Structure 1
Amino acid sequence: MNALDQLYQQVILDHSRERHGAGALESPDATSHQVNPTCGDDVTVGVHVVDGRVDSIGWEGDGCSISQASISVMHDLVVGADLDTVARLEADFDALMHSRGRGVDASVLDELEDAAAFEGVSKYPNRVKCALLGWIALKDALLKAGVPLDAASTD
């Protein structure tokens, strides 16, 4: 294993142990519960949006280290971000996960910060669902809160 793979593996392990944003959000604008039927991972994400920014998210869930770490990293990326940035990050992470190990542009990896650690996960289709679970829940919670990400990037 090369040094970059080791670093990426360590990022995922660290986030799966120290879950940033874990815990239910008090008075969310909306929540979304998602389950990966393939493996049983589940998450409930609550979101609070203020003035076009994700003010806070909280989450509760159970699952593999990949799903839990991905949600933790997602929390760090989106809290405080405007909705256009969140939409771009979600699209970039989705593209990374569907790259099947071919990778994405270096600028995308830079923007994804710690989420770039999941690049190796894209080689394993069954694990891609684990990594995307929290992002799907966030996107759905924002839709339920009346701020769909698809509309955020077209305004």
Structure 2
Amino acid sequence: MVGWARCSRLSPRSARRTRRTGCGSWTARWSRCGTGGWAPPAEGDPCVRTAYEFLADGRPVQLSTSWEPYDLTAGTLIVLPGGGPHAGAGVVNRMDAIGVTVSHAVEQPEPRQATAEEASLLGIQKAALVTHIRRTYYSDDGRPVETADIVVPAAHCEIVYEIPING
């Protein structure tokens, strides 16, 4: 399954560029943390937390905060998702670079109101409707290798999933 957000804030040129990827560019901030997100890594486990702002025409259209278990990536070239030779390659390709096979992801989308911080970052009204997606990637041995909270403003973007059918 492939998912992306189509955003109405895009210029025609940016809309063509982002049709498959969702957004034109992104910025990221990362830090080592001692607390996981809503799902594994477990509360208190060392992890790398990365906060992303996905941009279209220079404006934020999607937020994402991800957590990866530090013990999995420590000492490797992928320890910082936005740094090194695998920067921006995505979870599946980055994990493959250290010999970890990602077998599947679980996403749980739910509507809710934006927090004050999210509204400020996204340039929307406080308490505006957003789609909050909780996503976890799992390795082939069942270990969570990345979990993320993704926030997309409902008024500006639609969530689209493409599900391949293999016969």
Structure 2 length as normaliser, TM-score?
A: 0.30
Say which structure is richer in strand.
Answer: 2
Higher relative contact order (CA 8 A, sep 6+): 1
- Larger radius of gyration between Structure 1 and Structure 2: 2
